[in-house]
A and B are shown apart, each in its own frame.
Chain A
Amino acid sequence: MSIQYTQNKVASVITDMNGGRISRREMLRRGLAGTAGLLLADCWSVRAYGAPSLPKSKTAKAKAVIQIWMWGGPSHMDTFDLKPDAGQDYAGPLKPIPTNVDGIQICELLPQLAKQADKYSIIRSMTHGNSGHETAAYMVQTARKPGDGQVYPSAGAVVSLFKGYSAGYKGLIPPYIVMTQLQGRFSEAGFLGSRAKPFATGGDPSQGKFVVEGVVAQGISEERQKGRREFLQKLNSLEQAMPGNERLAASAAAEKQAYDLILGDAGKVFDLSQEKDELRDRYGKTKFGQACLVARRLVERGVPYVTINFEGWDTHKGNFQAMQRKLPELDKGFATLLQDLSDHGLLDSTIVWWGANLAARQRSHGKRRGTADATTTARSFATSSPAAASRAAMWSARPPKKAKRSRSGRSIRWTSSAACMNCSALTVLRSCLIRRVSM
């Protein structure tokens, strides 16, 4: 067995959270959550299991979430859960390297993240047993099983609802941002409807100017903006024909809000020229890298939920070439984000959740054989306990014992009980995430 974790470290973190009330196995079993489950563990124990007292250090103080969403599902076995002893067929050519935390090893293509391992925890036990991208995305982001007659909102939509405008959020930047495109194949808002949709920035932060759709316009001077606005007002004959109409008033209110953002200073948060070149380079001058930098700037200004939609991980063919190409990009952006958040004193109040809708198993010839056995999530730990915050824990699950080819031959479905998600536990987890962030 080559699982790279130290049993006592894991145990110590669990003890911190639960006062030793839940066994590690139980924790893992219940921890099959999509929604950054681990971070909730403290309020979890208190709220869900009725721990008699709530130690002071357990109160939530996260103010923001940065979600790094690896759409498509990178292989956990090539990123944070390498299995070098699983045999050549499964282990692949990528080798594990040690990190700055004893006993934790991650992929050799993530050297900078290896130096930041004290800032995150890895959950290696997540699984939900579904191999459909869109259904999997739904399960991971909502922690709900599909098909119960409702389409639930994602964690981001819920957080933005409870931490957004109705909860006193005053920022002009919308409370739920996604860079740069909506995820597609997944409805972030669920039954909350379009009001809970994230604001998609569009544009590309690695370009000279990050043109955020609607907020940052190119080639229109402020003077012309103001002139046009006045002109529009004069020409709005329908409004003049029915003064006081409620529907048009709602539209006018939305327009005013829009102009506050267009003409005010709030949009400068997207202006990366305010950052040092050296820092921008460290993040990597790529779309993903610069999006990480924007995420830090957004969090700094109080935006409660930022998703970075990092696409292109559905690497059916040429997986290892893709990993050679993409993992360094991930490494630079993600590692610098953690360090930068820490340097700005934001890491204690920011949850960084790295995860995907599903993960893939590869065989060494690089062709994907199966999907959906685990989701790896990482986080920066945000609690008021400095000891816990600085300690890293590796959570590792045994690889599922038996795998069976499905009839279609397209995917492997696990027959082990680990594949069956405990949905009621997930519900608890999800609501805890929301509570934790909402406090």
Chain B
Amino acid sequence: MKTFLISAVIGVAVWGGATAPNAKATPFESDAALSPQTKIDELVFTRLKKLNIEPASVCSDAVFVRRAYLDVIGTLPTAKEAREFLEDKDPKKRSALIDRLLERDEFPDYWSMKWGDLLRIRAEFPINLWPNAAQAYHRWVHDCLRENMPYDKFVREMLTSNGSNFRVGQVNFYRAVQSKDQETIAKAVALTFMGTRAENWPKEQLAGMAQFFSKIAFKQTGEWKEEIIFFDPAKTATLATNNLEQATTAPAKPAEKKKSDSSKPAKLAATFPDGTPAKIAEGHDPRVVFADWLISPKNPWFARNIVNRAWSWFLERGIIHEPDDIRPDNKPVNPELLAYLEKELVAGKYDIKHLFRLILNSQTYQLSSVPKTKSPEAEANFASYPLRRLEAEVLIDALNQITGTTERYSSPVPEPFTFIPEDQRSISLPDSSITSSFLEMFGRPSRDTGLELERSSKPTADQRLHMLNSSHIQKKIENSPKLQALFSAASGAGSKPPKPNKNRRGSQAPPPVNTGPTSEQKKAEVINQLYLTILSRFPTEQEMKTVAEYMQSGSKREAAVDLAWALFNSSEFLYRH
């Protein structure tokens, strides 16, 4: 171990010295010329030119490797992965990395988390799926993503399946709502798969759509909290009732309810949201009719919703923004871009990875986050990559990965208690009811509504307190099994009587000629390694100097701990950039 470390020291110290970026460029930008690489870039850059906005430079390799890992698999690259990518001389290494990441095991983990937000995978109030069902639902989503099920099929499955909430995970779509009346279900379908807020529609439009969901029945079984969801042709309309009344089952109430039912006007005809009346043969499941209308390539909402959302997942803003508030008076900033992505998705047979690949390979996506202009329209037109704080789950996973520590999660919901293994990553938690003050503090969505904006990335003083000064984070760093070797190496580096190095500060000292690593080299390696592990890049000369100075005085071990602490607390670590 020690010899390995030492040899790595020399290797890196030399390498780091050899390719230290020149002083004027930031470590975030590359000198590569900016030229449209893909159709996406043509459309985006044309628009920017029209607005007279200069796009940011292309991001550096170091930024790219970190960004791609975080955006595609919600996971930080290890020091080794980062180094290998940085050292790779292949000009096509970026697209090769994208391809590799799309096939990683963490891909379905991370994207099940995203879908879990939209599909409201939550065991407890107000969604009340119950743990067994939340897990079945999550497992189904995870399987689909792992197999890259075409998106149209993915949606159709959720809308048309029958069966047990514990066994046929996708039926939980209809249970993951705050109340199971047909209008609430219709609103959830419209929000999730059409990106529109049906509560703002004309009443008749929503009522017409709700008819498609009027024959869904829910039946209890002998198993605690199991429910069968099925098509019941004989079912009469359900009106919006509240859970309270259902829960109390006061015997006097149902009679009253029936009365008000019968006083309602005659049954409405199922009408598609575009106004076309639906033809549903006797005994046919109207959900199927709706699903087939929805996923048709001609449907104006379906592809638009998902490509617009996917764009916003990588670039923060939708081409129509908010991405789940599509309506006629909310115009896309770049209609050609939206149309192009829709066309590609349909032509690619709803292959989500194809869509992701298009976006990820564009230079638009690969722009630096350092903007060249303060134009207010720059952000909305994708002139630079948007800074975003890491999601709660991604952040804690990154901290754990680097320090080699774990979180202990538990679910307080009994019957049955959910066992969560100690090494469970937070992005793979199936259920937002699982209690964690860290995740809540850092804006994990509660999954009450399925709205994108439920997830908060706002910085707060509480979050800063926690990162800067909590025993939780402090212990992770100080007791870290993974960083221990580096901390000891740092204190080892200081154990030798320090050479008179006052003069050396600031000026570049010639590398010593002897074969063994000097304490200076050891120190440099510790610093390099901490930077690579935490920020996925090598330190700049300036940073190296600052750190070396800090390490001059006091305990060397403490100084190395402080360096790890400072890097964890830097915006560069806390933000996608």
Q: Which A positions have Cβ atoms within 8 angstroms of B?
A: 129-132, 134-135, 137-139, 145-149, 151, 174, 181-182, 184-187, 191, 193-195, 197, 199-200, 202-203, 211, 213-215, 217-218, 220, 224-225, 227-228, 231-232, 234-242, 245, 247-248, 250-251, 254-255, 257-259, 261-262, 406, 408, 413, 415, 417, 419-421, 423
Contact = CB atoms under 8 A, between A and B. Distances in A.
Interface string B543-577: 10011001000000010001101110111101101
13 contacts: A134-B124, A147-B179, A197-B462, A199-B462, A202-B472, A220-B474, A225-B469, A237-B572, A248-B571, A251-B459, A255-B461, A257-B464, A423-B244
Contact of B461 (A145, A146, A213, A254): A254
Interface pairs A-B: 10 shortest CB-CB: A214-B465, A184-B435, A147-B243, A258-B464, A257-B461, A134-B125, A251-B459, A241-B26, A147-B179, A238-B572
B250 interface: yes
A191 B453 CA distance: 11
Interface residues of B, number: 71
Most chain A CB inside 10 Å of its own CB: which residue of B27, B251, B463: B463
Nearest to B559: A231
Contact of B387 (A145, A194, A245): A245
A243 B92 CA distance: 32
Contacts of B463: 254
B247 interface: yes
Given A151-B126, A195-B458, A415-B250, A145 B575 contact: no
Interface of B: 26-28, 124-126, 128, 178-179, 184, 224, 242-244, 247-251, 369-371, 387, 389, 412-413, 433, 435, 437, 440-443, 446, 448-449, 454, 456, 458-466, 468-472, 474, 540, 543, 546-547, 550, 558, 562-563, 565-567, 569-572, 574-575, 577
Contacts of A255: 461, 464, 468
Nearest to A263: B469
A234 B27 CA distance: 15
B334 to A, nearest CB: 23
Given A129-B247, A185-B433, A242-B370, A145 B543 contact: no
Contacts of B460: 194-195, 254
B571 A185 contact: no
Nearest to B464: A258
Contacts of A195: 456, 458, 460
Given A135-B128, A149-B178, A195-B456, 9 more contacts: A135-B243, A138-B126, A145-B244, A147-B179, A147-B244, A182-B437, A195-B458, A214-B470, A237-B26
Nearest to B251: A415
Contacts of A215: 465, 469
B508 to A, nearest CB: 20
Contact of B571 (A218, A236, A420): A236
Given A134-B124, A238-B575, A217 B248 contact: no
A214 B469 contact: yes
A217 B471 contact: yes
B571 A251 contact: yes
B465 A261 contact: yes
Contact of A214 (B248, B371, B466): B466
Contact of A419 (B250, B440, B442, B547): B250
B565 A213 contact: no
Contacts of B465: 213-215, 258, 261-262
Contact of A242 (B248, B371, B565): B371
A414 to B, nearest CB: 8
B243 A145 contact: yes
A185 B546 contact: no
Contact of A218 (B26, B242, B412, B471): B471
A238 B126 contact: no
B173 to A, nearest CB: 17
B244 A251 contact: no
A413 B465 CA distance: 45
Contacts of A258: 461, 464-465, 468-469
Contact of B247 (A132, A181, A423): A132
A145 B454 CA distance: 21
B566 to A, nearest CB: 4
Contacts of B387: 245, 247-248
B46 to A, nearest CB: 26
Contact of B566 (A149, A194, A231, A413): A231
A185 B413 contact: yes
Contacts of A420: 248, 250
Nearest to B413: A185
Contacts of A254: 459-461, 463-464
A107 B389 CA distance: 52
A238 B242 contact: no
Nearest to B388: A247
Contacts of B249: 406, 413
B540 A237 contact: yes
A1 B268 CA distance: 55
Contact of A250 (B437, B459, B468): B459
A241 B370 contact: yes
Nearest to B181: A147
A240 B572 CA distance: 11
A416 to B, nearest CB: 9
B570 A237 contact: yes
A188 to B, nearest CB: 9
B519 to A, nearest CB: 21
A147 B471 CA distance: 39
B378 to A, nearest CB: 12
Given A145-B242, A194-B456, A238-B570, A419 B126 contact: no
Nearest to A137: B125
B562 to A, nearest CB: 5
Contacts of B251: 415
Contacts of A415: 250-251
B13 to A, nearest CB: 20
A218 B562 CA distance: 15
B126 A146 contact: yes
A376 B201 CA distance: 44
B468 A213 contact: no
A214 B465 CA distance: 5
Contacts of B125: 132, 134-135, 137-138, 146, 185-186
A239 B443 contact: no
Given A236-B571, A237-B572, A146 B178 contact: yes
Nearest to A165: B461
B527 to A, nearest CB: 11
B470 to A, nearest CB: 4
A130 B456 contact: no
A214 B572 contact: no
Contacts of B570: 232, 235-238
Nearest to B562: A228
Contacts of A236: 570-572
Nearest to A419: B248
B98 to A, nearest CB: 23
